[in-house]
Amino acid sequence: TAPFIQDPPVCCNQSLTISRVLIFAKQEAKRGRPVELGPTEARPPRAWPEERASVARALPVSQPAYQNKAHRLESRRYIRTHTGIGCAYYITYNIMSSETFTVLNDTRPDDTTLPAFMVSTTRGFLPRAEPVVDLPAEFAALESILARMPIQTLDGSPGLLARGMLGETVLNELPDLTWAVEKYAANLPLQNALYRDYSFLASAYLLEPCHLRFVKDGEYGLGREVLPKNIAIPISRCAEIAGFKPFMEYAGSYALFN
């Protein structure tokens, strides 16, 4: 008898779930073990029998009885099936969180206690306000290096990266400004801006040797292996506050907050 896999519940990330099930079905068909895709008939995993089953089951978290904290926090479930020769297969899929979130009608651009990124009716998934451009005076050393860093600066002159001087400048001129990051910890949009700026500096510092070698012979080679503490500690802290990882992320760094 061909194994039977039900459609996922509507509360699931259906495109991901269905695609994985279809990939599995195609793989089984190539092995001469066809898989039948059937209609939804769901029950919680605790109801699965220990013996071999021919029907795959999925957790119906859309039903109120199963919308408890444990089920919401656990993001992975398994669709279980057995082939005709008794081999077990497992397909993982993600369940969309049933937690709600706020959609802003008023983006409150002057409210620094709210994160920079929130969903709004006027700006969608973009930041609530235009990205912070100028950092506080405590970060003057950071601002100075960033202004001089590009291959070509705003006035058209070669920058630190063009001359291979960024690494030396970072080590000689940039203090550890973690204390200043902490000073403005309550200003979440500013933390996002600090994360953005430190992520650019971290990436440029690590990859400067790659750029210089590429200009010379067309090969990238290896970047620097160590990020100095005057970048590593503050970027780690502002990334933690802003809710990012301490390297270049799409939204908070080079794209949506740039």
3-state secondary structure string across 170-189: HHHHCCCCHHHHHHCCCCHH
Between the CA of residue 213 and those of 10, 151, 169, 201, 218, what are the distances in Å?
A: 52, 14, 19, 19, 7
What does the radius of gyration of the chain's CA atoms come to, in whole angstroms? 26
Q: Which of 4-13, 112-121, 184-193 has the lowest mean pLDDT?
A: 4-13
pLDDT at 237 over 50: yes
Tokens 């400067």 correspond to 208
Spatial CB neighbours of 88, under 8 Å, sequence gap ≥ 6: 80, 81, 82
Instruction: Render pLDDT for 35-79 as a digit per residue (tens, 0 to 9).
Output: 544 443 333 344 333 333 333 333 333 333 333 434 333 333 333
- pLDDT (tens digit, 9 = 90+) per residue, 90-104? 333 333 444 566 788
Q: Which pLDDT does position 37 carry in this prediction?
A: 46
What is the distance between the alpha carbons of residues 168 and 58, in angstroms, rounded to a whole number? 57
Helix, strand, or coil (residue 65): helix
Cα gap 94→8, rounded to integer Å: 11
Q: Mention every residue, 6+ apart, whose C-beta is less than 8 A from residue 173.
A: 141, 144, 145
For the chain, the domains span 4-94, 137-254
3-state SS, one letter per residue, for 202-258: HHHHHHHHHHHHHHHHCCCCCCCCCCCHHHHHHHHHHHHHHCCCCCCCHHHHHCCCC
Model pLDDT for residues 185-211, shown as the tens digit of each residue: 999 999 999 999 999 999 999 999 999
Q: How far is CA 231 from CA 79, 110, 129, 194, 222, in A?
A: 45, 28, 27, 11, 20
- Is 189 within 8 Å of 138 (Cβ atoms)? no
How is residue 92 written in tokens?
Answer: 């993982």
